[in-house]
Structure 1
Amino acid sequence: MADAFDWGLLEPAGATGAVVSDDRILAAMVELERAHFTAWSSLLDVETTASLDVESLDREALLKESRRSGVPVVGLAQALREQGGTLVHQGMTSQDVLDSALMMVSRDALTVAREALTAAGRRFAALAREHRGTPFTVRTLTQEAEATTLGAVIGGWLDAVSSAIETVDSVVFPLQLGGAIGDGDAFARLSGRPDAVAILRRRISAILGLADPGRVWHTDRSPVLAVTRAAASVCSAGGRVGRDLGLLARDDVATPLHGGASSAMPHKKNPVDAVLLVANGLRVSGPLGVVQTASLSYDARPAGEWHAEWQAWRETLRLAAESASLLEHAAGDLVIQTRRAPVTPASAPRGSHEVDAAVARFERLQEGDAS
């Protein structure tokens, strides 16, 4: 492409968001078409050799057809039929391809986010243990409240990370396959098998590593809501920690080892990770709200609601991947200035139980990974 509409100028942490780029979504759509082609050919007992190559696709032509038809799949199906013949896309509808591709991208993006959250969690767990006895005065409603420890504060961050990981782990990424109006009739009619759609869902899901929902969810957007809410939980966890990191940097209690520069004040070392974490936490409510509103669907496919969902769905994933990466970097870059921590007399560290509980909860999640 001669010009990219968005190459990250206003998205400082945008490199991580490439996991949901147009190229990745296009590749996922081709993966879906390839898996359908393989499973469909097998069901029809037809020998095929086509590979369906994404690299040879004319992106300019795809954009032109997308504008004409209002959906990116029409031009893609036409181009892939030139590679693989009439069996390509047979029985499917555009929504099958785009929904399934976005589920594949969602799975990959949230996997990336979870890995970064886990790395951040390990660092916070270590810091919570290290500073379980470091006195610190916390605030409520902006005012000094009581003394606790920095370990207890960091344990709160760890709990936020664990909650986001649990939410991500609960998400299911289903295949979409229903045909023109969601009843699977084309597959049954073309194959002569009334159970064709069930067989295809099972086979295609296995190829792509998606869940077999055993149904069509064209107008039931609960799977999309689950994905985007999980993405938002990552952004919320990051934003919650980012708020604290920014305030602690202001008081020189916890500062980044490598701060950001100022164009006007060279002496400054700005807590950039903290700032961007808060920004992403604030931004995610917009696309999440669009997905929620668009879930009020109708007919066999609504005029506008589904289309409004695409970019909003993708944006929540982008923000989640970025936020988790920012949080991992912030945790690894954090320097605790214990000599400047507000000291309050205490006979024993407060908040020790909360530190232990937060660390134990996070470690249980990691044990689940190992098993």
Structure 2
Amino acid sequence: MRPCSSTIRSPAVPDAPGDDASDWGLLEPLAFGSGSCALTGDDAVLAALIAVEAALTGAWADAGLAPAWLEEIASSLSGARVDRDALRRGARAGGNPVIPLVAALRDYTDRERPGAGDWIHRGATSQDILDSALMLVASRAIVVVADRLDNLGARLADLADEHRGSLMPGRTLTQHAAPITFGAKVAGWLDGVESAIAALGRIEPPVQLAGSVGIGSSFVDLTGSPDAPAALRAGLAARLGLADPGRSWQAERSPVTRLASALATALGALGRIAADLLVLARTEVAEVAEGGAGSSSAMPQKRNPATAVLIVAAAGRSPGLLSTLFSAMASADERAAGEWHSEWQALRQLLALAVEASEASAALFAGLVVDADRMRANVDLTAGLIYSEEVFSRLTRDRGRAEATAMVASAIDGPTPFAEAVPMELSTATTLVAAATVVDAALARRAARLRKRDAS
């Protein structure tokens, strides 16, 4: 998945070395303008791999286990130019991209200073570097996702407050159920977004550094110090701005699944909102509309809710990716044979989808058109039947359940409109009070989180 190219190349023209003309975003519409490529594309992963190697090299110097000049070598690695085609060939031959990358970086540093290549990747294994690099990519992506969700939450909070009194049909199992307000519906969306922000906020992407079999013995052998594994891991974490887990998670993959679960929660929350909008945007419902909605290739009259459609599609892909990552937990030995490898693209795609869907959701709500009059008209569509729960509850309170059941059934089945058949005036007062309580509670929860965030 590399929807990163900004140009379309002719199939008749051979690609430049390292370019990939097979995927430039044709089937990833949400990727356009989202920044997902810059955050999660191959170039971003390659830069993260080099950053981890540079940080590990520097960590040896930080721990006083290497010559002072090594810091300069570590700093120079960001300028290393890597032949992408050679990197891809090497990744295919060795099973992962770290092996050819290390060879390239050693060649580069040896040219800078003879013998410096001995300190590149010192004591580490490929999984140390790739796991840490993907967590570095994730740490940057989830900040962007959380920020976009926070901006979306601000818009939802305003919308909930603005429409706290805008009556609309509440729908269950596709049918009119009882009245609610659009503000209360939006408050439910807001709670989902806030839950996603909280889930992402609990994620502290960790480094991985433990050598070939996960116990750090290579670092002890290289230094003669039993404290070297912990010192180097802490130094790597500090240089990368990642968490030091205090252990190896080389074969214990819960850091990956916790991250993936938080991303899937965010995508699920956004998908639920978009799915609701698709219902409300139906021609016969027409309670909301996307600003600048998409057109049809065949039907000129259509204004498709294209952004909501694509967000639902993105959310629909996340369970499969999540399943892949949870399946990878069940691996044998100290290094997995295939299960670990299956994680790479699944995790990266989850990150990209979360970046893309959060950006698209913010853009959708920036232009969302809400028709409160249409919502109110739809409440009246069934001549009062939408109030039957309220009527039944009030009659049960005053006359008992048996009599209330008979009276409501007679009113529903009789020839007279329901609103005229029942012995009471239908009122929206209870709905408005209950819905306002829901809105106020959701706004209060968001405000409390923001106060806690600002105080920290």
Amino acid of the structure 1 residue aligned with 2:446: F
Aligned to 2:325: 291
Distance 2:23 2:453 in 1: 36
Q: The residue matched to 2:268 in structure 1 has which SS?
A: helix
8 A Cα contact 2:291 2:364, kept in partner: no
* Contact 1:27–1:54 (Cα < 8 Å) also in 2: no
Partner residue, 1:203? 235
Residue 33 of structure 1 is matched in structure 2 by 53
CA offset at residue 40 of structure 1? 1.1
2:213 maps to a residue whose letter is I
Distance across 1 between alignment mates of 2:360 and 2:278? 13
Deviation at 1:247, TM superposition (A): 0.8
| Cα distance, 1:198–1:95 mapped onto 2, change above 3 Å | same
1:54, distance to aligned residue in structure 2 (A):
5.3
1:346 aligns with 2:428: yes
Aligned position for 1:81: 106
* Rounded Cα–Cα distance in structure 2 between residues aligned with 1:199 and 1:73: 23
Per the normalisation by structure 2, the TM-score is 0.79
1:267 Cα shift? 2.1
Matches within 5 A, 1:178-197: 178-197=210-229
Is the Cα–Cα contact under 8 Å of residues 80 and 108 in structure 2 kept in the other structure?
Answer: no
What displacement does 1:125 show? 0.3
Which of these residues, 1, 10, 16, is aligned with residue 27 of structure 2?
10
Runs of 5+ in structure 2 lacking a partner?
Answer: 1-17, 110-116, 380-426
- Out of 22, 37, 43, the position equivalent to 1:23 is 43
| Aligned twin of 1:44 | 65
| Counterparts of 2:190 and 2:61, CA distance in 1 | 49
Between the aligned partners of 1:12 and 1:52, the Cα distance in structure 2 is 35
> Alignment partner of 1:144: what SS?
strand
> Is residue 234 of structure 1 aligned with residue 266 of structure 2?
yes
- Is 2:293 the counterpart of 1:259? yes
Determine what percentage of the aligned residue pairs are the same residue.
43
Q: How many angstroms apart in 1 are the aligned matches of 2:359 and 2:165?
A: 29
1:330 maps to: 364
1:320 lines up with 2:354 in the alignment: yes
The aligned residue for residue 451 of structure 2 is 367
The answer to whether the 8 Å contact 1:295/1:305 transfers is: yes
Instruction: Give CA deviations for 1:232-274 in whole Å, capped at 9, x if unaligned.
Output: 0111001000011111111211111110121112222111121
Distance 2:452 2:331 in 1: 37
| Cα deviation, residue 57, structure 1 | 0.8
Give the whole-Å Cα distance in 2 for the aligned partners of 1:253 and 1:153: 13
Write the letter of the residue equivalent to 2:91. S
Larger RCO, structure (CA 8 Å, separation 6 or more): 1
**Which residue, 142, 153, 164 being the options, matches 1:110?**
142
What does 1:91-110 correspond to in 2, within 5 Å? 91-110=123-142
- Report matched runs for 1:170-181 at 5 Å: 170-181=202-213
Distance in 1, matches of 2:247 and 2:20, equals: 40
**Residues 132 and 352, structure 1, Cα contact 8 Å, conserved in 2:** yes
In the other structure, the counterpart of 2:246 is 214
- 1:333-364: CA deviation from partner (whole Å, max 9, x where unpaired): 11111121134551351411110111111222
In structure 2, the partner of 1:162 is 194
| Alpha carbons of structure 1 residues 54 and 292: separation in structure 2 relative to 1, 3 Å | farther
**2: CA distance between counterparts of 1:40 and 1:89?**
10
The offset of 1:142, in angstroms, is: 0.9
- Indicate the residue corresponding to 2:91 in structure 1: 66
C-alpha distance in structure 1 between counterparts of 2:87 and 2:126, whole Å: 14
Structure 1 residue 14: deviation in Å?
1.1
CA RMSD in angstroms comes to 1.3
8 Å contact 2:90–2:100 — kept in the other structure? yes
Point out 4+ residue stretches in structure 1 off by more than 3 angstroms. none
Residue type of the alignment partner of 1:24: A
Question: How many residues are matched?
Answer: 371
Contact 1:152–1:352, Cα closer than 8 Å, also in 2:
yes
Aligned partner letter, 2:308? A
TM normalised by structure 1 equals: 0.97
- State which of 437, 442, 446 in structure 2 corresponds to 1:358: 442
Q: Distance in 1 between matches of 2:135 and 2:275?
A: 31
Which of structures 1 and 2 has the bigger CA Rg?
A: 2
* Alpha carbons 2:51, 2:78 under 8 Å: kept: no
The yes-or-no answer on 1:306 pairing with 2:388 is no
SS, match of residue 138 in structure 1: strand
Q: Is the 8 A contact 2:54 2:78 kept in 1?
A: no
* Cα separation, 2, equivalents of 1:41 and 1:161: 43
Q: Provide structure 1 residue ranges, at least 5 long, that are not aligned to the other structure.
A: none
Cα displacement string for residues 252-305 of structure 1 (whole angstroms, at most 9, x for unaligned residues)? 111111101211122221111211111111111111110010111211101111
C-alpha contact (below 8 Å) 1:225/1:291 kept by paired residues = yes
> Hey, what's the Cα distance between the residues in 1 that align with 2:449 and 2:367?
24
Say which SS state the counterpart of residue 429 (structure 2) adopts: coil
Choose 34-43 or 176-185, whichever is displaced more: 34-43
Q: How far is 1:86 from its partner?
A: 1.1
